[in-house]
Every structure is written in C-alpha cells, then in structure tokens.
C-alpha cells in the first residue's frame, strides 16, 4: 500500500496513526508499513494492534522519532477478558 500522500501537514492535523494490519507480525518482524517515519515527532501517537512481537518495527521507528508508542498487548488481554465473560460467565 502506498502512503506517499502522507506529508507534514497531514501528520500535524491527524496525530494518531494506527496499524491494524498484520504487517510486522511474527514471523515477519522485519516488515513495517511504508510510512514517512522521518515526518513523525513527539506530537504523534502510534498504536499497533500487533502483540507479537511486543515492539514491532513500526513502533521502533516511531519511537526513534519521538512519537508516543502503544503496542497491542493490552488489546489482546482485554479481548481475552471479554471473551471469558461471554463464554464462561
């Protein structure tokens, strides 16, 4: 997928970036969305739905640029809790 439409103005208006694709998931940890990471800064928040690996290349690159990063582990835990409630309670 091409992200060449993302520029500095877009990232200043839309500060949250969510990766909800399997790109970067085990066993393909060397992959990441082809974003213009050089444009990220401390005003951006990057969330990855992937929980394995815990820190994806997407998150590493965003963190290197100063962005706040959030991994998918907590989402995975919350899904498990809700599933437990649905099926076991």
Read off the pLDDT of residues 12-66 as tens digits, 9 standing for 90 and up: 999 999 999 999 999 999 999 999 999 999 999 999 999 999 999 999 999 999 9
CATH classification code of 8-88? 3.40.50.720
Per domain, the residue ranges of the chain are: 8-88
Mean pLDDT of 63-84: 96
pTM: 0.89
78, HSE (Cβ side, Cα atoms, 13 Å): 6
Residue 2: predicted pLDDT = 80
Residue 11: predicted pLDDT = 93
Residue 89: predicted pLDDT = 84
């Amino acid at each position: 997928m091409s992200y060449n439409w993302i520029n500095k103005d877009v990232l200043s208006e839309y500060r949250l970036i969510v990766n909800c694709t399997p790109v970067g998931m085990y066993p393909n940890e060397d992959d990441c969305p082809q974003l213009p990471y050089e444009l990220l800064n401390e005003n951006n928040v990057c969330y990855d739905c992937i929980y394995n690996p815990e820190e994806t290349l997407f998150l590493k690159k965003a963190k290197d640029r100063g962005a706040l990063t959030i991994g998918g582990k907590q989402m995975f835990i919350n899904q498990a809790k809700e599933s437990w409630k649905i099926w076991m309670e």
